[in-house]
Amino acid sequence: MSSKLHQLALEYHQGDRPGKIIVSSHKPLATREDLSLAYTPGVAAPVCEIVQDANKVYDFTIKRNLVAVISDGSAVLGLGNVGPLASKPVMEGKAVLFKYFADIDVFDIEIDTQDVDEFVQTVKNIAPTFGGINLEDISAPRCFEIEKRLIEALDIPVFHDDQHGTAIIIAAGLLNSLEIQGKHIETAKFVCLGAGSAGIATLNLLCELGLSKDNILLVDREGVISQDMENVSQIKAQYSVKTDKKTLADAMQGADVFIGVAAANLVSKQMIKSMANRPIVFALSNPNPEISPSDVNSVRDDLIMATGRSDYPNQVNNVLGFPFIFRGALDAKASEINSKMKIAAVHALKDLAKLEVPSSVLKAYSAESMVFSKSYIIPKPFDPRLIDVVPKAVFDAAVSSGVSRL
């Protein structure tokens, strides 16, 4: 971040009223009658209804439109374990995106513990307040256990966006990229650099979409996850393969697809040169990718590239997913966000990229045209059709898969 942008960001977050979100009422409170309805004795009426039927809480309170964005601050952006207080600006930012893109209300909650048991118990205790839980910026491998235990314990959607939001957007972009490049997910050879929450969740989702584990080389800081490696965690071991390849450079030779969710500047030009014809490169580390588009384009002209940045084509941005996925899940009064709902979101995003782009999107991005191609593989966050297309797909999948209360 430049010093100028750093200062602008500080001024943006401070101002006359620090922070980015407020809590306000949307019901009148101007008369004595209003007061009697808003509080005592009027509140007794919905209380009695909810006592008789717990599901009435969705009819008389904010619960059906309220999500908790919860973090312990252990894996914030590219900044690492900064703790709960320093994570708060990020969680407030997430709340702003939920509200702007999908009109979902959010309470951000920063929990001062990195003990899995304490964290899980805290979330379980406050869960009745919310219609959904969005876990955010929690380090691996703790995030996997936390999410699993909360999904098992709660009857509302629990969604770790760093895992599944990232995976959904990557999958949508990759399916379109494979189509453009004339390749197929069942036969393409994949390399994934990064075995944390995003990497593992992405591979899990891609396997549900047809990718074979035999065609995956997972690489972490120790090298290719192979069957002769020792002390490999259970989470990584599911992608352990029998191979003589040891390093990232070895893995990249002949690969059709590279997914980077690790750190900046880990991929060389020579590695890109060694990939198969018409490769796909998703270098998604933020703020700096595993290899820059300029370096990639200097050695190949037959590839598709995506990054996590808005100043390059094909930005893989979670805001394409989580507001709209939760909108569909909340509208369906879903008890969880299951695989069918995630896959429905993937296909909704994938198919939307193939339609004619509205003029409002072109104006927002100062572009003369956007057409399904190597430089436009996924929709833009400001596409007004997202709120219609993705929530409906998720809603329908929730109903058809039996997790909707409707």
Q: Mark which of 156, 182, 200 sits at the end of a domain.
A: 156
- Res 1 pLDDT > 80: no
Contact 303, 327 (CB under 8 A): no
334: helix, coil or strand? Answer: strand
Q: What is the CATH number of the domain that holds 215?
A: 3.40.50.720
CA separation (Å) from 207 to 211, 217, 243, 339?
A: 4, 13, 19, 12
Contact 281, 256 (CB under 8 A): no
**pLDDT for the residue 388:** 96
Query: Which residues sit opposite 189 in a β-bridge?
Result: none
- Does 388 reside within a domain? yes
Residue 305 host element (H or E): strand 304-307
Residue 118 host element (H or E): helix 116-126
* CA 151/CA 135 separation, integer angstroms: 11
**pLDDT for the residue 231:** 83
* CA 128/CA 107 separation, integer angstroms: 13
- Does 54 reside within a domain? no
- Does 313 reside within a domain? no
Number of structural domains found in the chain: 3
Q: Are strands 223-224 and 257-260 parallel, antiparallel or unpaired?
A: unpaired
* Mean pLDDT (whole number) for 217-242: 92
Same domain, 181 and 207: yes
Residue with tokens 């008369």: 31
* Mean pLDDT (whole number) for 305-318: 93
The tens digit of pLDDT for each residue in 349-393 reads 999 999 999 999 999 999 999 999 999 999 999 999 999 999 999
Q: What band does 47 get if pLDDT is binned at 50, 70 and 90?
A: very high
Query: Which residues sit opposite 160 in a β-bridge?
Result: 135
Considering only 284-288, 360-364, 395-399, which range has the smallest mean pLDDT? 284-288
Q: What band does 93 get if pLDDT is binned at 50, 70 and 90?
A: very high
* Mean pLDDT (whole number) for 185-190: 98
Q: What band does 286 get if pLDDT is binned at 50, 70 and 90?
A: confident
* CA 126/CA 239 separation, integer angstroms: 36
The encoded tokens of residue 51 equal 């006592």
* CA 224/CA 246 separation, integer angstroms: 5
Those residues whose C-beta lies under 8 Å from the C-beta of residue 157, and which sit 6 or more positions away, are 131, 132, 133, 326, 329, 330, 334, 335, 336, 337
Tell me what the pLDDT averaged over the chain comes to.
96
Same domain, 243 and 272: yes
Same domain, 227 and 295: yes
Phi, psi of 183 (to 5 degrees): -120, 170
Same domain, 213 and 300: yes
Active-site amino acid positions: 39, 94
Closest to 342 measured CA to CA, from 284, 403, 262, 259 = 403
**pLDDT for the residue 308:** 93
Q: What band does 395 get if pLDDT is binned at 50, 70 and 90?
A: very high
**pLDDT for the residue 303:** 97
- Does 13 reside within a domain? no
* CA 158/CA 124 separation, integer angstroms: 11
Q: What is the pTM of this model?
A: 0.94
Same domain, 173 and 279: yes
**pLDDT for the residue 362:** 95
CA separation (Å) from 12 to 1, 9, 76, 100, 353?
A: 15, 5, 20, 17, 33
Closest to 198 measured CA to CA, from 218, 214, 227 = 218
Closest to 133 measured CA to CA, from 114, 159, 167 = 159
- Res 394 pLDDT > 90: yes
* CA 385/CA 387 separation, integer angstroms: 6
The tens digit of pLDDT for each residue in 118-143 reads 999 999 999 999 999 999 999 989 99
As a whole-number percent, the residues of the chain with pLDDT over 70 amount to: 100
Query: Which residues sit opposite 226 in a β-bridge?
Result: 241
- Res 78 pLDDT > 90: no
Same domain, 260 and 344: no
Range of 394's domain? 321-401
**pLDDT for the residue 230:** 84
Same domain, 332 and 244: no
The encoded tokens of residue 6 equal 């750093």
Same domain, 231 and 339: no
Contact 349, 320 (CB under 8 A): yes
* Mean pLDDT (whole number) for 222-237: 91
Task: Annotate 226-252 with DSSP letters as a single string.
Answer: BTT-SS--HHHHTT-B--S--SHHHHH
Same domain, 359 and 334: yes
